[in-house]
Amino acid sequence: MIPVARTPATCEDGGMSDALDFLVKLLDIEPIEVNIFRGVSPDEHRQRVFGGQVAAQSLMAAGRTVERGRVHSLHAYFLRPGDPTVPILYEVDRIRDGRSFTTRRVVAIQHGQAIFNMATSFHVEEEGPLEHQFPMPEVPDPESLPTLRERLEPYRDRLAEWFARPHPIDQRHIGRLPWAAEEAGDEPVQRLWIRADGQLPDDPLLHACIATYASDMSLFDTMLAPHAVHWDDADFMGASLDHCMWFHRPFRADEWLLYDMDSPTAYGARGLARGFLFTRDGRLAVSMVQEGLMRVVSRASTRLEP
């Protein structure tokens, strides 16, 4: 088990913060056999493994079996809550190695059961004359916005240990924090700037994995924005059900990315959220969609399995 980073996360010299260095090591999964890798979780008091971690480690496992091309899409299902106290085995199935596209399937296993399943595809870069994209929304520059720690100061007592924990992703929220609303009625829209807290190596797969990790930190909050519901409410059960991403253009996860999110609908105990990552110069780099379980129960329950 890897111990959790306890040193300050902020990087002042342009290098890599301790929290980001910890995350990079977390994603450096161990090969233990052909097509089989082992990953661990931070030594934290979590009820389950963070979904973004499992998705990022799965993508890293798939990418390490690919010789040509960059990841262009992933489609994943969260099947069972991950146990943070034991390692996760990642089994990679080499579905196809083609001239332009390579396909992999990854199954994450704990206690003899699949907890996560991902299909991912890699594409050899090529030129194409047909190109368009949505324009990036006009928003304040990230430097003009307070840090996440500054925004969370009023909630220090409520967040306790989570507040004190260093974070590998620098987040600058635009507008009200999604979990700050006490009453229903907010628009299901959220925008923030994100970047890795320090400089990463020039490895496109690592940058994609960092973006995958970060993408699962905010989408669900967008689904909850119109509702007077919080993660720590005793009568609420929430969990990510599936997660899809499309990587359109090259980007660096250690440079500012605008994370633009909305939630078109929620119905039948399920909500849907969309996200778009724009580079600072306005290029649409990544698109994603996530569906989540939004269950209101009559009695508190610690079991979050869908």
User: What are the tens digits of pLDDT across the range 40-90?
Assistant: 998 777 778 999 999 999 999 999 999 999 999 999 999 999 999 999 999
With respect to residue 147, please indicate whether it lies within any of the assigned structural domains.
no
User: In the Cβ-directed half-sphere of 43, how many Cα atoms lie within 13 Å?
Assistant: 6
Which pLDDT score, from 0 to 100, does residue 6 have? 33
- Where is pLDDT greater, at 232 or 19? 19
pTM over 0.85: yes
Q: What is the spatial distance between Cα 255 and Cα 285, in angstroms, rounded to a whole number?
A: 12
Q: What is the CATH number of the domain that holds 167?
A: 2.40.160.210
With respect to residue 140, please indicate whether it lies within any of the assigned structural domains.
no
- Where is pLDDT greater, at 8 or 286? 286
With respect to residue 41, please indicate whether it lies within any of the assigned structural domains.
yes
Percentage of the chain exceeding pLDDT 90 = 70
Residue 24 has pLDDT above 50, yes or no: yes
Query: For residue 191, which of 207, 216, 172, 212 has the smallest C-alpha distance?
Result: 172
With respect to residue 207, please indicate whether it lies within any of the assigned structural domains.
yes
Mean pLDDT of 155-183: 73
Region of residue 21 (left: phi > 0; alpha: psi -120 to 50; beta: else)? alpha
Which pLDDT score, from 0 to 100, does residue 305 have? 53
Which pLDDT score, from 0 to 100, does residue 149 have? 81
**Tokens 């010299």 found at:** 13
With respect to residue 196, please indicate whether it lies within any of the assigned structural domains.
yes
Whether residue 80 contacts residue 233, with contact meaning beta carbons closer than 8 Å, is answered with no
With respect to residue 135, please indicate whether it lies within any of the assigned structural domains.
no
With respect to residue 129, please indicate whether it lies within any of the assigned structural domains.
no
Which pLDDT score, from 0 to 100, does residue 1 have? 32
Whether residue 9 contacts residue 185, with contact meaning beta carbons closer than 8 Å, is answered with no
Residue 118 has pLDDT above 70, yes or no: yes
Which pLDDT score, from 0 to 100, does residue 3 have? 34
Mean pLDDT of 154-160: 66
Question: Catalytic residues, which ones?
Answer: 216, 240, 290
Mean pLDDT of 255-271: 96
Which pLDDT score, from 0 to 100, does residue 63 have? 97
Which pLDDT score, from 0 to 100, does residue 229 have? 78
Residue 242 has pLDDT above 90, yes or no: yes
User: Phi first, then psi: what are they for 176, rounded to 5°?
Assistant: -70, 145
Residue 304 has pLDDT above 60, yes or no: no
Domain count of the chain? Answer: 1
| 226 pLDDT tier (thresholds 50, 70, 90) | confident
- Look over the chain and give the mean of its residue pLDDT values, rounded to a whole number: 88
Residue 290's domain comprises 2-124+154-296
Percentage of the chain exceeding pLDDT 70 = 86
Residue 14 has pLDDT above 90, yes or no: no
- Where is pLDDT greater, at 38 or 217? 38
With respect to residue 104, please indicate whether it lies within any of the assigned structural domains.
yes
